[in-house]
Amino acid sequence: MKKSQIFLNGIIKENPTLVMLIGMCPTIAITTSISNAIGMGACVIFVLFFSNLIISLIRHIVPDEIRIPVFIVVIATLVTITQLILKAYFPSLDASLGEFVALIVVNCIILGRAEAFASKNGPVSSMLDALGMGLGFTLAISVISLIRQFLADVLGLAMFASPVGGFIILGLVIGIFQSVKLLIEKKNELKKKEKEKKEKEVSVNKEAVK
């Protein structure tokens, strides 16, 4: 797989929030404001990037029987570092995100990429995968946050600041994203078929000339 494809997979094809539907707890809980979304996204990118890197480096020396506990220890250590940084330099963001930073330890995105990708690939590919997945998650929750904050704070529709409103907006964003994704895939498929048809016609014409 090309390096660019590994990176883009997490943003579009395998977006953790809008395609794979994982990491839903923070998606609903912290998307009431754009600052929370960006803060959580940055934390996830940091933990995901370094956990993927470390796990890809130690994958050959960790026995299969204990790989999951080792992955969790690596992730928990990085989450602890993240919490300490937030408390020291971003106390308001730390207070706003609360326990959801600690819950990154059991976030399906982090552990899922460690098991499905980092434990099977080299450091460069694993870092690209982490950046793609992290940015895909951040972009998705940022869009959801912007919509919820606009509806709740600007239009005064308080329901959209609640979990119910969060689920509604999440469903709408997923529906729009999947519809656009399908249209693009169909368009690319048609282009591919047209290209194959032209190549076939050229081949037939060459055979006829011979």
pTM (2 d.p.): 0.89
Whether residue 185 has pLDDT greater than 90: no
Question: How many domains in the chain?
Answer: 1
Residue 21 belongs to domain spanning: 3-209
User: At 1, is the pLDDT very low, low, confident or very high (cuts 50, 70, 90)?
Assistant: confident
Whether residue 148 has pLDDT greater than 80: yes
Residue-level pLDDT at 208: 67
Q: 7: which residues sit within 8 A by CB, 6+ positions away?
A: 128, 129, 131, 132
Find which of 4-13, 14-23, 46-55 is predicted with most confidence, using mean pLDDT: 46-55
